[in-house]
Structures are given as C-alpha cells and as structure tokens.
Amino acid sequence: MDFWSDDGQGARQVSRFIAALDRSVDRYGQDVILRRTVGTANRVSIDCPCRASVRNYDPTQLAGTIQQGDSQVVLSPTDIDRVQWPGPEPIQSPPRATDPRIPRVTDVVVIGGRSRSVVASVPFVVNGELVRVELQVRG
Amino acid sequence: MSLPSVVTLIAETVTTAVTGQQFTAITGLTGVSVMTLEATFAGTGGSTAYVVIRSRLSSADTWREVARFDFSAAGAKWASLTSASAAVAAFSALSADSVLNGFFGSEYQAVLTSTGTWTSGLMTVKAHVR
C-alpha cells in the first residue's frame, strides 16, 4: 500500500470515533445546552441543545487550573453540526483560521438549569476532522 | 442529517454602516416545508438596518431572496415561509418587510445592510424549520 494513500480509512476511522462517542453520550450522558452570548449592552443567546458526558474531576486531578467543583464536559460534534452552532459569521478574506464550532472561554454550558462557565476548551481533531470536544466548566 | 429545530441565520453587532455584508451559509436544510423567521434588532442612534435572507437550491446555484426585515429602531418582527403552491414567477429583489413564499433551498444566508452609526446595535434572525 502506498504510504500516502489511506484508501479512505482515515475518513472511516473519523466516522467511527464520532459514532462511538455519540452512542456513549446518548446512553450515559445528559442533556445540556451549549450557549454563546453575542452583543454587549444588547445581547442574544445562541443555544445548542446537545447530549454530553458530565463528570466531576477526580481529587487526584485537582492541579493546575482545575479546582474543586469544576466539571469535565465531553461533547460530540454531531449536535453542534446539526444546528450549525454558533451560526454564521461574516464572510471574510482570508477565512478565519480557527474552527468556530469549538467553544470559547466566554461561552457557558447550562447543566441541569445551572449556567457554568467554560474555563478551558480542548478540541480533538483526527484526520482534519473535529471528533470530540472536552470542556472544563466552573460555577 | 435530521433537520434542526432552530437555527441562527445571523447574530451580529451593528455599529458603523455596512453594505451587503454577507454571512456564511447554513447548509443541509433539505426537506423544509415551513420556516418561521424571527428577526430582532436592538440599538440606538443609527438610521436604518435591514437583513435579507437568501436561499439557494445547492452550493452551485444562485442565491434568491426569500425574506427581508427592515428596521429604523429597535424592534422585533416575524414571518412564516410556507410551501403554498404558487404560479410561475420571475425572481426579483424583495422590497422592505416582504417574503417570497414556497422557495425552500438547501442553503440559507443572511446579508446585512445598515446606515448611520448604531450604539449597541444587534441584529438577530433565527429560524424554526420543520
């Protein structure tokens, strides 16, 4: 096999990663809302209802920026893509370098009716495709 | 991919005047038969602001205007696009606060135009599709 040709295996692997995460959050996760607020004095919220795995950090993980009470939220890109969150952005040239689907530290996740601020956002990209997002949330 | 319930077509701050600012498209909305649009505008001090919602059948086709919301002050407006049958007609640019019914493409785009300088201006259009 040519070293540079993966015969589509990379794309299939990405699909498998996402499907496995979808099954996992569907079975063991909970409903949350990923929310971005646009505007300053006047504001509007852009919501993405999604399934997510939410868990508290283990005491051994409390180091660095992770504080007691913080939680880890694992999201699949499937729900984000379904509503195409956070919505359109002005077409600019050159296009933005960062993936707009990746939550920012100014976003919040509503878990059980409680708004929790995103402290850190880690995207997992395989073969150029977003397959998973891990958030550290607080509040 | 199943249809989402609500999609945001534009949520953008408005300050200095812009003419025909295009936004990235919402794609993959096939099978829509009804679209309820809610447009809200907030802000003071400017003159006018309007947003045109355009649709096209596919990424290879031409954008067609399907809804237009005009504001000269803060407010909220809505419109419902339905799949009511219509006679053959030519496409044309929409006049203020009007819609084109029955043309449901797979992609939607907002185009923003404003005049004057708005303070805390914010234009939003969300769509409920089914």
**With contacts defined as CB-CB under 8 Å, which chain A residues touch B122?**
38-39, 42-44
CB distance B45 to B119 below 8 Å: yes
How does pLDDT run across A74-96, given as a tens digit for each residue?
999 999 999 999 999 999 877 77
Write down the pLDDT at residue A94: 78
For residue A46, give the nearest of B11, B22, B42 by CB distance.
B11
Hey, are the CB atoms on A87 and B43 less than 8 Å from each other? no
Q: Which residue has the higher pLDDT, A9 or A57?
A: A57
Which tokens sit at B79?
A: 């419109």
Which region among A13-17, B40-44, B47-51 has the lowest average model confidence (pLDDT)? A13-17
How far CA A133 is from CA of A1, B13, B52, in Å, comes to 33, 27, 34
Write down the pLDDT at residue A1: 47
Q: What is the mean pLDDT of residues B92-104?
A: 95
User: What are the residue ranges of helices labelled H in A29-91?
Assistant: 77-83
Chain-centroid distance of CA B78 in Å reads 11
Give the whole-angstrom CA distance, residue A109 versus residue A4: 40
ipTM: 0.86
Write down the pLDDT at residue B28: 93
Write down the pLDDT at residue A5: 61
pTM (predicted TM-score) = 0.89
